[in-house]
Amino acid sequence: MNEVLHLQSRAYPVHHDSPPLAMESFHVPGHGELRASAGELKTLVYNPDFTIELDLKEIVTRAITLPGTEIVGCYARILSAGSILVTYALRHEADLRRLDLPDLDALDAQVNHLLREADAPILAAVLAAAAASGLVQGLALRPDLAGSDEGSPVDRQSTRYNCHFVTKSPPWATDPRVPPLSPGPYCRVLLPYTYAWDRDSATPLHDLLTMLEPTDIATAQQSLLVGALLGGRRVLVDLARAGHPTTDVHAFRRFLDGVWSDYHHLDGYRIESTQGPRATYLAARESIGLDNTQERADKLLGYVGSSLLAAASQRTEALDTRLNRVASALAMVAAASFSLDVAVFLLPDVSLGPRIGVVSSLIGLTAAGMAAVFLPIRRVLRSPSRNGGARSVRAVPRQRAASLAARPALEPDESGRPGGPSPHP
């Protein structure tokens, strides 16, 4: 019986500006020392793309136990284009080759849920320690995450993952809902984000990670776009519900600049990789609908940009109105002061009573002018009943109720139930 190696690769969108050379090691509070090494995406043939690789197996296996499953390896690869790939290698006691594709997919989803819940604090601690040590520099999260109290640099909502089953002669057939695709060697697309690889499961893990690079790059791009969609939606919620939006426009713009920069950096994989991985990458893009996600992101973020521009114009208009009122008030105060100076100059020998009267009048005029500037003028709307015979607004519900009471019962709809919609407008 051929053994099956179960691989899960997660892509976390983390925008950063890290140096190409990795440090020797750094300390993770509560987990000890962690060694980092420099690597690269080995399927790129024209221009190398450096990575920072972390072996997390020892840290993970000390804290996580899965019944009936052995964690063979756990690697994190920090890409230079704003993504972190975390890959688990698992072996199960059960014979996965005997499972149907739906059962195999259900098992993968269950294992992924358990791992994500268990390793969330570990990955957050590792990334925070890497940022504190200088290994990862210039972290830029979504503005709503950066302003939260969680303090975790891991955006779990935007995370996407691939599922891989490595075995000789995979017995699972492609789901009929998947369009016909032509991936590269060894690969078979079973479902979106689910692949079978015709390789020996005893292949060294580093070679398998190289084999998975095309599908992982496509998933990393998807996670970047999902993060941008979530950020854009949060901005729209803020604009729709808040009288005074709290969204930092410049911070969100910088975040989107990082998103599109990293996305198109990874998008260069289609012209930088070799022929076999390129075919697998294009098949993975099509199966997960990456181009459709990019179109949705373009539309939503374009609408968000228009809304932010409109909100900024509204705030500018309100600020101009307040500044004009202040300027008008200052002009009135200056005019009153000038009038008082003129009165004192023209009436030097007037008794105290007239002087008090002049000063009181000027102060009253100034106060009245400032009140007229700052207090909104309440316009009394004429009653609808007096305006050209228009009906009263309050009378409409009563008239509507009377008309409904006078109408006959609605005819039954196609299902025979009364109250169905009328076939005619």
Distance CA 32, CA 55 (A): 13
Question: Phi/psi class of residue 151: alpha, beta or left (left: φ > 0; alpha: ψ in -120 to 50)?
Answer: left
Contact 283, 182 (CB under 8 A): yes
Contact 161, 112 (CB under 8 A): yes
Distance CA 137, CA 99 (A): 44
Contact 277, 43 (CB under 8 A): yes
pLDDT at position 218: 96
Distances (CA, A) of 282 to 65, 177, 181, 241: 36, 18, 9, 41
- The values of phi and psi at residue 81, to 5°, are -110, 50
pLDDT at position 288: 95
- CA-nearest of 150, 144, 149, 152 to 126 is 152
pLDDT at position 353: 67
Q: Which residue has the tokens 């804290």?
A: 63
Contact 224, 290 (CB under 8 A): no
pLDDT at position 341: 64
Residues paired with 231 in a beta bridge: none
pLDDT at position 205: 94
DSSP 377: P
Q: Is the four-CA dihedral 234, 235, 237, 242 of positive or negative sign?
A: positive
Contact 254, 140 (CB under 8 A): yes
pLDDT at position 402: 45
Helix (H) or strand (E) holding 312: helix 290-346
Question: pLDDT of the chain along its 425 residues, tens only?
Answer: 458 999 999 999 888 877 666 567 888 988 888 988 888 999 998 888 889 899 999 999 999 999 999 999 999 999 988 899 999 999 999 999 999 999 999 999 999 999 999 999 999 899 888 888 888 887 777 766 665 545 556 777 889 999 999 999 999 999 999 999 999 999 999 999 999 999 999 999 999 999 999 999 999 999 999 988 988 888 888 778 766 666 677 778 888 888 899 999 999 999 999 999 999 999 999 999 999 999 999 899 888 877 777 766 666 766 677 777 777 767 766 776 666 666 666 666 666 666 676 677 667 766 766 666 666 544 433 444 444 444 443 443 444 444 444 444 334 343 343 343 333 33
Q: Is 181 helix (H, G, I), strand (E, B) or coil?
A: coil
Distance CA 290, CA 266 (A): 13
Q: Which residue has the tokens 């920072």?
A: 52
Helix (H) or strand (E) holding 164: strand 160-167
- CA-nearest of 162, 271, 156 to 213 is 162
- What is the DSSP secondary-structure string of 49-86? -EEEEEE-HHHHHHH--BTTEEEEEEEEEEESSSEEEE
Distance CA 274, CA 220 (A): 19
Distance CA 271, CA 45 (A): 9
Distance CA 295, CA 236 (A): 18
Distances (CA, A) of 315 to 252, 309, 320, 328, 415: 18, 10, 9, 20, 53
Q: What is the dihedral of CA 29, 30, 32, 35, to 10 degrees?
A: -60
DSSP 390: P
pLDDT at position 387: 43
Is this model's pTM higher than 0.85 or not?
no
